[in-house]
Structure 1
Amino acid sequence: MNSPAPPNPERWSDLSPRLISAGAMVLIGAVGIWMGGHVFHLLVAIICGLMVWELVGMLRPGVRDVALKLGALTGVAVLLSVYLPIGFALPLLLAPALVGFGQLERNRTIFMAFTVMILMAGFGMMQVRDDMGLGWMLWLVLVVVVTDVVGYFAGRAIGGPKFWPKVSPKKTWSGTAAGWVGAAAVGLLFSINTGVGIELVGISIAISMASQMGDIAESGMKRKLGVKDSSNLIPGHGGLMDRFDGMLGAALFLLIIGQFIGFPPGAG
C-alpha cells in the first residue's frame, strides 16, 4: 500500500503575507465604505488611479512619467465624475483612455479596454454607495470577497481539473464553483434580512461570475505581456489590479444590469 503523499508546504506558502495584507485592505476599505461620501469617493479615485498607473507600467515599462500622469488623470476624472451631471461625467470618464492611446507605442487596445473598465467600475461603486446605501455596497463587496476567499481555499484543498492552466495555472474548477456557492449564500442571507426577492441569489451568482471574468481578463493580459503581477504594492497579492480585478468585473456588470432589472429585486 502506498503511503499518502506528504503535504505540500508551497501550497500555503503565500498565506501569511496574503492574510496580513488582506487585513490591512479590509480595514482601509471598511473605513471608506462606512464613512461614504467624500472619503469613499477619494478612496475609489486613488485606487483607480493606481490601477491605471500599474496598467501603464505593464504595457510600457520604464516610462514612469507617462504612468504617473495617466494615473493622476484617471484619479481626477473618477473623483470629478461623481460630482458632475451624468451628461458631463460620461465624456470625462472616457477621456483618460483616449489620452493614453497616444502615449503608448503598442498594446493600445488593451490599455483603452482596461482603462474604460477601471473608470466605469469606479463610477459604478460610487453610485452604489451613494444611491443604494451602505448595505448594498457591503453586499457587492462581500460577494466578490467570498467568491475569491472560498475559491482560494476550496481550490487548494480540493484541487482537481484546472480552469485555464495556460493562463492561470492555480485556478481550478472546484474553486470556481465553490465561489458561486459562496456568493449564493451571501445573496440568500441578504434576501432574508432585507426582504428583497429570492432573485438576489441568482444575481449574486452572476456578480460572482462577473468578478471571476474580471480576474480571468487580467490574468490573460498578464500572460500576454509576460508579467506575473501588476506591481508589487501589496505583499502576497501583487498589485491593486491583482486584488481588485474581480471588483472591476462585478461593479461594471452591476452598473450595466442595474439599468435593466430594477435593482434591488422587487424595486421595480
Structure 2
Amino acid sequence: MAKDGQWDDLTVRLASAAGMAVAGVLLIWLGGVWFALLTAAVSGIMIWELSRMIAPDRASEALQLAFLGAAAVLLARALPGFYALPILAAPALVGISLLKRHRAIFVAFAVAILIAGYGLSSFRDANGVVWLFWLVLVVIATDVFGYFAGRMLGGPKFWPRISPKKTWSGTVAGWIAAALIGVLFRQFTNAGPDLPWISVALSMASQFGDIAESAVKRKMGVKDSSSLLPGHGGLFDRFDGLLGAALFMLLVAQLVYVPEVRF
C-alpha cells in the first residue's frame, strides 16, 4: 500500500513531463532538420551528464564531449551512411583521452547514446512518424504504469542491488501497459497482429535501459544524472528507458523489414 509522502513529487513530475511531451511530439511530427536538432541536443546533454557522473571534477571536458556528441549526430546525418559509425564513435574515443577513470563505461554508453540519437532521426525519415509515436508511447506507458503500480502495490523488489525502488508489480504493470499500447495501435493503424507482443519486448528493452543507467548511478554514487529537470533529475534519468527501447527497435529494423505504418 502507498505510504504518506509517496506522492509528494507527483505534481512537479507531471508538469515537467507534460512540457517535454509537448515539445517532443511537435518535433517528432515535424521531422527532418527539426527532429535531427532535437536528437542531437538530447544526445549532447546526455553525454554531458554521463561525463559529469563519471568525472565531476572535469566540467570543461564534459562540455567539450557534449558539443562533440551533438555535432557527431548532425554530421552523421549529413554524410553518406557508411561514414556514420566512425563519426559517432569519435566522441567516445576522445572521451578516453579526456576522462581518467571508468573509460569503458563512458565509451559503451556514449556510443549507445549517439547511435540512438542518429538512428532515431534517420528512422523517422525512412519509416514515418507512427513508429516513433508508438515507441514513445510504449516507453511512457511502461514508466507511468510501473511508477503507479510500484507505489500503490509495492511487493518484492525486481533487482534491489541495482534499482532499489523497482518492484515486480511495477515491472509487470509496464509489460501489460505496453501490450495495451500495441493493441491500440493495431486497431488504428495498418500494423500487423504481432504488435502487442513486440510492444512487450520493447517495454522490456526500455526497462533494461533504466536498470543499466541505475547501475551506473549506483557505481558513481549519485542519485540523479543531473538536476536539469524538476522532479525527474536529468535527461539521462528520463530517457534511459527510451535509450534501451530505441536501440532494440533500431536493431530489429536492421534484421527485418519495417514497413511504413499509417493511421
In the alignment, is residue 89 of structure 1 matched against residue 70 of structure 2?
no
In the alignment, is residue 10 of structure 1 matched against residue 5 of structure 2?
yes
Find the aligned partners of 2:225 and 2:108 in 1 and give their Cα distance.
16
Query: SS in structure 2 opposite 1:9?
Result: coil
After superposition, give the CA deviation of every residue in 1:45-74 in whole Å (9 maximum; x if it has no partner). Answer: 000000000011011102111000000000
In the alignment, is residue 226 of structure 1 matched against residue 221 of structure 2?
yes
Residue 124 of structure 1 deviates from its aligned partner by: 1.9
In the alignment, is residue 170 of structure 1 matched against residue 165 of structure 2?
yes
After superposition, give the CA deviation of every residue in 1:5-38 in whole Å (9 maximum; x if it has no partner). Answer: 8x62221111111011101111111111121111
- The range that moved more, 130-139 or 193-202, is 193-202
Aligned partner of 2:159: which letter?
Answer: W
How do 1:109-188 and structure 2 match up within 5 A?
109-188=104-183
How do 1:58-73 and structure 2 match up within 5 A?
58-73=53-68
Percent identity of paired positions between Structure 1 and Structure 2 = 56
Q: Which residue of 2 aligns with 1:195?
A: 190
Find the aligned partners of 1:136 and 1:35 in 2 and give their Cα distance.
14
Unaligned runs of 5+ in 2: none
Find the aligned partners of 1:77 and 1:150 in 2 and give their Cα distance.
35
Paired positions, count? 261
In the alignment, is residue 32 of structure 1 matched against residue 27 of structure 2?
yes
Runs of at least 4 residues off by over 4 Å: none
| Alignment check: 8 A CA contact 2:48 2:66 kept | yes
Query: Alpha carbon RMSD of aligned pairs, Å?
Result: 1.5
Higher alpha-carbon Rg: 1
Find the aligned partners of 1:115 and 1:90 in 2 and give their Cα distance.
12
| Alignment check: 8 A CA contact 1:199 1:265 kept | no
TM-score relative to the length of structure 2: 0.96
| Alignment check: 8 A CA contact 2:127 2:258 kept | no
Query: SS in structure 1 opposite 2:5?
Result: helix
Query: SS in structure 2 opposite 1:234?
Result: coil
Aligned partner of 2:142: which letter?
Answer: T
Residue 167 of structure 1 deviates from its aligned partner by: 2.2
Residue 265 of structure 1 deviates from its aligned partner by: 9.8
In the alignment, is residue 101 of structure 1 matched against residue 96 of structure 2?
yes
Find the aligned partners of 1:15 and 1:264 in 2 and give their Cα distance.
38
After superposition, give the CA deviation of every residue in 1:156-197 in whole Å (9 maximum; x if it has no partner). Answer: 111111111222221100100110111111111112222222
Unaligned runs of 5+ in 1: none
TM-score relative to the length of structure 1: 0.94
Aligned partner of 1:116: which letter?
Answer: V
| Alignment check: 8 A CA contact 1:161 1:173 kept | yes
| Alignment check: 8 A CA contact 1:150 1:179 kept | yes
| Alignment check: 8 A CA contact 1:230 1:242 kept | yes
In the alignment, is residue 48 of structure 1 matched against residue 43 of structure 2?
yes
